[in-house]
Structure 1
Amino acid sequence: MAFNHFVKNEFLTLLPQAYPVGPILHLEDNGKQSETLQWLDEQPARSVVFLCFGSMGGFSEEQTRETAVALDRSGHRFLWSLRRASPNIMTEPPGDFGNLEDVLPEGFLDRTSGRGKVIGWAPQAAVLAKPAIGGFVTHCGWNSMLESLWFGVPMVTWPLYAEQKINAFAMVEELGLAVEIRRYFRGDLMAGEMEMLTAEDVERAIRRVMEEDSDVRYRVKEMAGKCHAALMDGGSSKTALAKFIQDVIENLVV
């Protein structure tokens, strides 16, 4: 929708033809049902908030504790894909914490054992596909946002680097499809200068995104329908792809 508006702008008429195709997603099911996915199947619909920050998203011990306090206070069920920050993100990806009890608040795992899980890597698309997921705290990578919209899951924006801040702004301010933790984020993960978010910041956003009848949830559900319709016969994506093929054929030099 946003891209269609972009390409139709009168100031872009001199540019080459653009063909808005998508959303393009890799949602192949490998048939494996992990313990995490089985746990999600046992949870009520839209009751679990999922926290996942991509392959490069890792946090300091201090930020990890603040996030844990937020989850504890919120009272919501949660699935948290937790990675430790890399000492040099340019040469070494984030890894798992050696002992979670050393970095999480005292008693956190015991207090939340009945309603939450802390894991390492997560099969993100498979998790978002589960009916139990009611909200997604994300770094706002492009694939993550597309997957969240495809499955109709409202987002909490927590951008870490690169274009993610722009993506977050678009989701919150322009499209109304996400909840912000803060309007403006300072720092950049790649530069090793991440801004600390307090437990109060994170808890407030989690409570907002998990509201059952919020305007954000309604708009995300509506957008999910548009995403699916775009890929159907007669949808905007298939129509654009057919137009692209036709234009290529017509412009072939024989």
Structure 2
Amino acid sequence: MKKAEVVFIPFPGVGHLVSTLEFAKLLINRDNRLRVTVLVIKFPNSTETNVYTKSLPISDSLHVINLPECSLPPNSDPVSARNALLEAQKLNVKEAVSNLTTGAENGVLAAFVVDMFCTTMIDVAKEFSVPTLVFFTSGVAFLGLSLHLHTLRERDNVDSTQLQQLRELAVPSFTNSVPSKSLPSSVLRKEWESFMMDFWKGLKNADGIIVNSFEELESYAVRSFLSDPSLACLPIYPVGPLLNPEPKIKGTVDSDDIIKWLDDQPPSSVVFLCFGSMGSFDEDQVKEIACAIENSGTRFIWSLRKPPPKGTMIPPTDYTLFYLGSILPEGFLERTAEIGRVIGWSPQTKILAHPATGGFASHCGWNSTLESIYFGVPIATWPLYAEQQTNAFELVCELKMGVEIALDYRVEFNSGPNYLVTADKIEKGIRSVLDKDGEVRKKVKEMSEKSRKTLLEGGSSYTYLGRLIDYIMNQINHFHSDFGQEAYNHS
């Protein structure tokens, strides 16, 4: 019998690509009637996606097609470049999908799964008369906020200037009102308005939204989708946590070295400071962090990266050892040699999974948040950009699974950070996140247990995944008689 073919279109950013690929694996492992084809879009001259797609276990149920690279208009800002890239790839997507549906050995086209930033591809799915599901790489509460902001704009004409002037905003997917300073920069800035409207509208055009989260973690937000009339028509499928396996990237540090060092430390005694694939700080801020670490006297692993040239979108790089000494306070490395390690790129999941790691000072990217909860490590929040301020607010104020270093710190693309976080504030966060008897640690440990069970039979994510597969198979029954009732019953 032919398989049901599901076409995945992930966004090229690593934080998006990896969880999408994990979801593709989850889907085909759950039901052998499905086959997944991942259409990989690349940014021009970028190789970072290769590391992840090459490590996929290619089988007759999962295969990867690299779409031809497109050149982009010169000197375009990140948003225009992205839009141009997706528009240029529509023809390639159409061609790839047409080839999929004509080959004798291929399956029957059942659905598209597109990244939250690739909803413009819904147009292509419509041409093939199949439904489109959006893969949302952040949490359910933030999804609810996004849809609510679209409603406010459409219904009440609330724009970015008005949002800035509000002290806080009541949002159906949050129990507490969300302070405007915890909203993403893109929501508060005039120049992002049309982009955000397209983004929100794209979400509402989907036939359903797959979310990398789980009901036990965000139960209030998940319920809001059932009870709020403006959201009830949009089915959501929280099927997470889908965690990032580490790619085989070599930084300046040998990860075995770090793990060996952790093996010698007492349980839950080390604070891990790491700010994501795009996170870095200037010299003033680095000195404040160093000062806080030293004053706290705690054991630490600090992933410290070199900022890219101002106004560019390239990721931070690793410092050379010589340069490291010059940006840290004089003698810092010598004085802390016994209790800590300053490294470049870090094997994040290995460090979080280690019993010696007791706290995580993090930028609150959603993947990092899920990993931290999964491994039972409380977070000290220090958001930088995108939706991280909202995630930090959710962790500290809604879920009580994080402590605050900062909630409203933000780095703007062209103008840098909005303030300097002082050493005493950082030190307080570090001490607080390592508190052995704290309520936060207890809550995170309990949620860690739940996050490990939710994808097993009987768990909520397992159940949602089953519903999603039923939905996909039903679409086929609608359109193709050779997928008769018998195929459906076998589910």
**Structure 1 residues 33 and 52, CA gap change in structure 2 (3 angstroms):** closer
2:397 to 159, 173, 184: 173
> Which residue of 2 is the match for residue 68 of structure 1?
290
3-state DSSP class of the match of 1:51? strand
* Structure 2 residue 309 is matched with structure 1 residue 87: yes
Aligned AA (1:128):
L
Q: CA deviation at 1:111?
A: 1.2
Aligned match for 2:318, one of 93, 96, 111: 96
1:19 and 1:244 in contact (8 A); partners too? yes
One-letter code aligned to 1:27: P
Q: Deviations over 1:22-67 (max 9, x none)?
A: 111133697x962011111111110000000111111111111110
User: 1:195-214 residue pairs with structure 2 within 5 A?
Assistant: 195-214=419-438
**Structure 1 runs, 4 residues or longer, greater than 6 Å off:** none
Which of 1, 11, 15 lines up with 2:233 in the alignment?
15
Per the alignment, residue 353 of structure 2 pairs with: 129
- The equivalences for 1:27-38 within 5 A come to 27=245, 34-38=256-260
User: Is the partner of 2:273 in helix, strand or coil?
Assistant: strand
1:43 to 262, 265, 268: 265
| Distance across 2 between alignment mates of 1:7 and 1:41 | 44
Other structure's SS at 1:11 match: coil
Moved more, 219-228 or 83-92: 83-92
Residues 21 and 211 of structure 1, relative CA distance in 2, 3 Å threshold: same
* Alpha-carbon contact 1:153-1:221 (below 8 Å) kept: yes
Partner amino acid for 2:307?
A
Q: What is the aligned-residue RMSD (CA, Å)?
A: 1.8
Identical-residue share of aligned pairs (%): 46
Letter in 1 for 2:411: D
* Deviation by residue 1:116-142 (Cα, 9 ceiling, x = unmatched): 000000011111110010000001111
Which of the pair has more CA radius of gyration?
A: 2
Structure 1 residue 84, shift from structure 2 partner: 2.0
The TM-score with structure 1 as length reference comes to 0.93
8 Å contact kept, 2:255–2:346: no
Partner of 2:413: 190
Shift of the 108–120 alpha-carbon distance from structure 1 to 2, 3 Å rule, reads: same
SS of alignment partner, residue 176 of structure 1:
coil
Q: CA deviation at 1:163?
A: 0.7
- How far apart are the structure 1 equivalents of 2:368 and 2:438? 21
Structure 2 CA distance for partners of 1:27 and 1:88, relative to 1, 3 Å: same
Contact 1:46 1:131 in 2 (8 A): yes
Cα distance between partner residues in 1 of 2:277 and 2:407: 24
* Cα pair 1:45 1:134 within 8 Å, conserved: yes
Q: How many residues align?
A: 252
> Residue 300 of structure 2 aligns to a residue in which SS?
strand
Among candidates 277, 292, 313, match of residue 55 of structure 1: 277
* Cα offset, 1:12, TM superposition: 4.2
> Larger relative CO (CA 8 A, sep 6+): 1 or 2?
1
Match of 1:238? 462
Is the contact made by 1:156 and 1:206 (CA closer than 8 Å) also made in structure 2? yes
State the one-letter code of the partner of 1:23. Answer: P
Query: CA 1:109–1:18 in structure 2 vs 1: closer, same or farther (change >3 Å)?
Result: same
Q: Paired residue for 1:226?
A: 450
Q: More deviation in 4-13 or 208-217? A: 4-13
2:380 is paired with a residue whose SS is: strand
- Give the letter for the 1:17 counterpart: P
Asked whether 1:159 is paired with 2:392, we answer: no
Q: Which residue of 2 aligns with 1:5?
A: 223
The whole-number CA distance in structure 2 between the counterparts of 1:183 and 1:141 is 13
Q: Equivalents in 2 of 1:156, 1:93: separation in Å?
A: 23
Structure 1 gap segments, 5+ residues each: none
Change (3 A) 1:251 1:192: same
CA contact (8 A) 1:139 1:164 kept: yes
User: 1:199–1:150: structure 2 CA closer, same or farther, 3 Å change rule?
Assistant: same
For residues 467 and 313 of structure 2, the distance between their equivalents in structure 1, rounded to whole angstroms, comes to 43
What residue is the counterpart of 1:148 in the other structure? Answer: 372
- Following superposition, the deviation at residue 20 of structure 1 comes to 1.4
> Which structure shows the bigger proportion of residues in strand conformation?
2
In structure 2, distance between residues paired with 1:92 and 1:116? 28
Contact 2:226–2:232 (Cα < 8 Å) also in 1:
no
Contact (CA 8 Å) 2:244, 2:367: kept in 1 or not?
A: no
Instruction: Output the amino acid matched with 2:293.
Output: L
Q: Is the 8 A contact 1:29 1:126 kept in 2?
A: no
